[in-house]
Every structure is written in C-alpha cells, then in structure tokens.
C-alpha cells in the first residue's frame, strides 16, 4: 500500500474512534488506554479505513506517511560519501 499509519501515543486519549473506523488495523491496548496500529493496510479498503481513522482522531494522534519514505531514507545513507575522484582532485 502507498501509505503507512502510526499512532502517537503521547497524543492519544484512548477514545477508541480509530478502532471503530479501522478495526482490522488499529487495536486499543489493554490497560494502556491508547491505540496502536497493529496491521498496516493490506488493501485499498483498509487504507481508506485508516485514512478515516486519522481524520476522525480528535487529537490528530494518527500520523500518515508514504510507505516508500523508509526506502528514500536508506537511499540517502549513500549521500554523505563523496566520490573518490573528488578526494584525488583536492590533493
Ligand atoms: S482516535 Fe486518536 S485519540 Fe482516539 S484512540 Fe484513536 S489515536 Fe487515540
């Protein structure tokens, strides 16, 4: 799926709306009074449910990120290393 969802537990007040909107993906943590995304969307319907859960959250506690964001950051790990040609030219 193109998007991933996470619950910011510092913002969550445990109202349960997100679980009602996306029961396949969001669970209420027993004893903690907060929600957690336990399953990222596996199809368009679940992604829509999670998007609605994020929209319905009264505290803005559900964050949505592009699923390829992690891939982009791993590509960035190659960035800081300068090509060897530049080292040779500098000396
Ligand atoms: S809708 Fe928001 S505040 Fe309510 S349980 Fe879900 S994450 Fe927490």
| Domains delineated in the chain | 1-64 (3.30.70.20)
- CA distance from start to end of the chain: 48
| Contacts of residue 14, Cβ cutoff 8 Å, sequence gap at least 6 | 28, 32, 33, 34, 35
Task: Collect the ranges in the chain with pLDDT lower than 70.
Answer: 69-91
**Which of 10, 17, 56 has most ligand 1 atoms within 8 Å of its beta carbon, as the pocket-test mutant?**
17
pLDDT confidence of residue 29: 87
Instruction: Show the ligand 1 pocket: residues with CB < 6 angstroms.
Output: 7, 12-18, 35, 57-59, 61-62
What pLDDT does 85 receive? Answer: 55
**pTM of the predicted model as reported, rounded to 2 decimal places:** 0.74
Supply the residue whose CA is at minimum distance from atom 8 of ligand 1.
12
| Distance (Å) from CA 85 to ligand 1 centroid | 53
In Å, how far are 29, 76, 77, 88 from 84, measured between CA atoms? 51, 18, 17, 7
């Amino acid at each position: 799926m193109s998007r991933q969802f996470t619950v910011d537990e510092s913002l969550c007040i445990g109202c349960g709306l997100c679980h009602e909107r996306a029961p396949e993906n969001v669970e209420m943590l027993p004893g903690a009074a907060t929600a957690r995304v336990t399953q990222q969307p596996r199809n368009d319907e679940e992604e829509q449910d999670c998007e609605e859960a994020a929209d319905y959250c009264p505290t803005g506690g559900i964050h949505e990120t592009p699923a390829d964001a992690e891939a982009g950051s791993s590509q960035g790990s190659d960035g800081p290393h300068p090509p060897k040609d530049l080292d040779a030219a500098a000396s």
